[in-house]
Structures are given as structure tokens and as C-alpha cells.
């Protein structure tokens, strides 16, 4: 079939009518575009903290580990000249959260005789538990447990941004090395605002989009295209790249169509038209690459994307990755010079 016919077919398929029956289901956590973050621990209740043990002082219990309190002192009373094992503090968010990073401090410079207690954790590792699971998992990178580098003094805020979004209900922090005593304050940075891709299929009961807060699902081609509607997508650039992950996806214009909704003053009431994106082919890691170019008026503004995947009985769409999500920082360790200003900046990335 000539290329011009492919384009005509794609434009025909992308003319949508409101009479379509919708089913809304999440694709995966990686498909959510974050446009705002918030601190989570500061709003956690006392009962949501637990620990392997604590100092007898009431002011340094697990619930005192919030950034605006004194700090948690673990049940380790040796000097910090050896590696620490079996000491931990845990937070339960009561439901799955999408976590972008962790911030740590040492013992606060307040309280009676505070100059005596120059205490902080210098490194740690994390374990997490997903809701409805009983299996704790180490935070790893390339199959190796990540040892996070933390404080070099008690008062500076140290951000460790994760290389991938961490989906967890419970998280445990295990101090590994310390200075003075294993005392710390901590905060997790989580998603607060995001745009969500919805799967749209006919002849199915309605569902609920949870943006990856349930276990990942894949959507299989079943004689009709797998359709994804992504409303409110944003980018600050004049082009954006999408990566489609799944199984047996033929990455060409015959099987994959992506379009950006455009304003149409002469369209019928129920008609929506799209500018088509370029299907660039399969990358070395097996993902289908798509390039969308924006008009000047679309940059930084909410955009509606439509994506369709055709194939055979083996074709599945599992995730859509975007280069447009705004992050809290480069993965790894960063010093936060001004904590209030940092929070203000990440609350609304646009």
C-alpha cells in the first residue's frame, strides 16, 4: 500500500466521535507524566511510623523523624566506627505512592544541650513493600543494592533522587554508616500532579485510571486497535519523544499511529482532528520510538494525544515512556541549599 494511503487511513482512524464507549484503565507507572511533587512524611500520622527500636528519650522516637522535629535515634549505642546492621525505621503511607526521591538530615540543631549531639547518618539503603504484597524488595540498580550517600553534617538537606520512580506503600531505611550516633530526619518526594494515559476500548465495562498505582498491566490487540487517550500532556520543548514498550509491536506507520489534537474551527461538532507524529522505528532496546513536533502555541500548554497500536494475537502494549516529565533533579546525591524554596519550586513544575 502506498505511503499516502497509510496517512489517509491514519487520519480516518483518528477522526473520533463522542459516541464511542470508553473503558479507562492504567497502562503503567512509567506512563504517568509528573507535573508536580510534594513532601509526604510531613503529613504522616504518628501511628504510621515503626522502627527496630529507639532511644528511650521521647523526643527522638520514630515519629520525631519528620524534617521539622528533632530526629529519630536508632537502637544502636555503639560508636560509629563500624557498619550498622539490623537497625531500621519504617513509614507506611497506607496506600501506594509514586516516589521520586528521598531527603535526609541529621539531628536537628535545637532542644536542650543540642551542641553535644552532633549525630547524623552518612549512608543507608532502602527496602520497600507494594500494597497487597508481603515481599520486601531492596532498591537496586543494575541488580545491585543501592547504598545511598547521605549527610556529611547534621544540618544540610541531602536529596537522593531515584533513577526510576519507586512505587511503594511502605519503605524501610536501614542506616549503614553514621557519625556520632545513627540519628536522622527524612522526607520522601512523591507525585502530586500528573497527566494520565487512558486506554479506550469498545465493548468493555468502565474501569478506573490509577496511574500505575496498581500492578502493571499490558493490553493485547484483539482485532481492533489498542487505543490510548493521553489528556493534559505537557512539554516545555517544541518536540517530544515517546517510547512504546510491549511485545511484538511492529513500529511503522501501518501498525502505530500517534497524533496531537489540534484546534479545528471548521470541524463538525463531534469531530476531532490530529497532527500526526513521526514513527521513527525500533530502538536498540526494542522500544518503538515516536517523535511529535509541537506548534508554538502548544508549548507548555495541555495537549491531548491519541495513540493506536495494531498487530496480531501476540501484540501487547505495556507502557509509554515520555521525555517530557519534569524531574526533581539528576539521579543521585544533591545538596539542597534552601529547603523551603526547593519545595515551592517542585509543587507545580509548570
Per the CB < 8 A criterion, the answer to whether 259 and 327 are in contact is no
Label residue 105 by pLDDT band (50, 70, 90).
very high
Q: Which of 214, 247, 233, 251 is nearest to 300 (CA)?
A: 233
- Pick the range with the lowest mean pLDDT from 24-28, 136-140, 180-184, 341-345: 24-28
- Pick the range with the lowest mean pLDDT from 42-46, 228-232, 267-271: 267-271
Is pLDDT above 50 for 205?
Answer: no
Domains of the chain, by residue range, sit at 3-32+196-322, 36-193
Span 62-67, mean pLDDT?
Answer: 96
DSSP strand E in 206-271: where? 219-220, 226-233, 239-247, 256-262
- Pick the range with the lowest mean pLDDT from 47-61, 181-195, 208-222: 208-222
Cβ-Cβ contacts under 8 Å for 192 (sequence gap 6 or more):
36, 37, 38, 347
As its CATH architecture, domain 36-193 has: Sandwich (2.60)
Label residue 223 by pLDDT band (50, 70, 90).
confident
Is pLDDT above 80 for 28?
Answer: no
DSSP structure class, residue 325: P
Label residue 163 by pLDDT band (50, 70, 90).
confident
286-324: pLDDT as tens digits: 999 999 999 888 888 888 999 999 999 899 888 888 887
Label residue 215 by pLDDT band (50, 70, 90).
very low
256-269: pLDDT as tens digits: 999 999 876 666 66
Is pLDDT above 80 for 107?
Answer: yes
* pLDDT score at 165: 85
Distance CA(247)–CA(118), nearest Å, equals 54
Set of cell numbers at residue 61: 522516637
Amino acid at each position: 500500500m502506498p505511503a499516502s494511503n497509510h496517512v489517509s487511513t491514519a487520519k480516518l482512524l483518528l477522526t473520533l466521535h463522542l459516541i464511542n464507549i470508553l473503558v479507562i484503565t492504567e497502562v503503567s507507572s512509567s506512563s504517568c507524566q509528573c507535573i508536580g511533587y510534594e513532601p509526604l512524611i510531613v503529613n504522616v500520622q504518628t501511628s504510621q511510623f515503626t522502627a527496630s527500636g529507639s532511644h528511650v528519650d521521647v523526643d527522638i522516637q520514630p515519629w520525631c523523624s519528620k524534617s521539622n522535629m528533632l530526629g529519630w535515634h536508632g537502637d544502636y549505642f555503639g560508636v560509629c566506627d563500624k557498619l550498622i546492621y539490623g537497625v531500621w525505621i519504617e513509614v507506611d503511607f497506607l496506600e501506594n505512592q509514586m516516589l521520586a526521591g528521598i531527603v535526609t538530615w541529621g539531628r536537628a540543631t535545637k532542644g536542650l544541650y543540642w551542641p553535644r549531639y552532633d549525630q547524623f547518618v552518612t549512608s543507608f539503603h532502602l527496602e520497600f513493600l507494594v500494597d497487597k504484597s508481603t515481599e520486601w524488595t531492596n532498591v537496586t540498580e543494575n541488580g545491585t543494592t543501592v547504598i545511598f550517600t547521605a549527610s556529611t553534617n547534621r544540618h544540610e538537606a541531602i536529596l537522593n533522587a531515584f533513577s526510576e520512580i519507586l512505587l511503594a506503600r511502605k519503605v524501610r531505611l536501614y542506616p549503614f554508616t553514621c557519625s556520632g550516633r545513627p540519628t536522622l530526619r527524612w522526607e520522601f518526594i512523591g507525585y502530586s500532579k500528573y497527566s494520565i494515559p487512558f486506554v479506550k476500548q469498545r465493548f468493555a465495562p468502565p474501569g478506573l485510571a490509577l496511574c500505575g498505582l496498581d500492578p502493571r498491566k499490558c493490553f493485547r490487540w484483539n482485532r481492533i486497535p489498542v487505543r490510548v487517550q493521553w489528556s493534559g500532556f505537557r512539554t516545555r520543548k517544541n518536540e517530544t519523544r515517546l517510547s512504546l514498550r510491549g511485545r511484538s509491536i511492529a513500529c511503522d506507520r501501518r501498525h502505530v499511529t500517534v497524533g496531537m489534537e489540534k484546534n479545528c474551527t471548521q470541524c463538525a461538532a463531534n469531530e476531532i482532528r490530529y497532527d500526526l507524529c513521526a514513527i521513527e522505528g525500533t530502538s536498540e532496546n526494542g522500544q518503538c520510538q515516536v517523535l511529535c513536533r509541537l506548534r508554538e502555541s502548544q508549548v507548555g500548554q495541555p495537549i491531548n494525544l491519541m495513540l493506536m497500536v495494531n498487530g496480531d494475537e501476540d501484540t501487547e502494549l505495556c507502557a509509554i515512556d515520555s521525555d517530557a516529565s519534569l524531574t526533581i533533579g539528576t539521579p543521585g546525591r544533591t545538596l539542597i541549599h534552601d529547603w523551603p524554596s526547593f519545595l515551592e519550586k517542585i509543587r507545580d513544575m509548570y
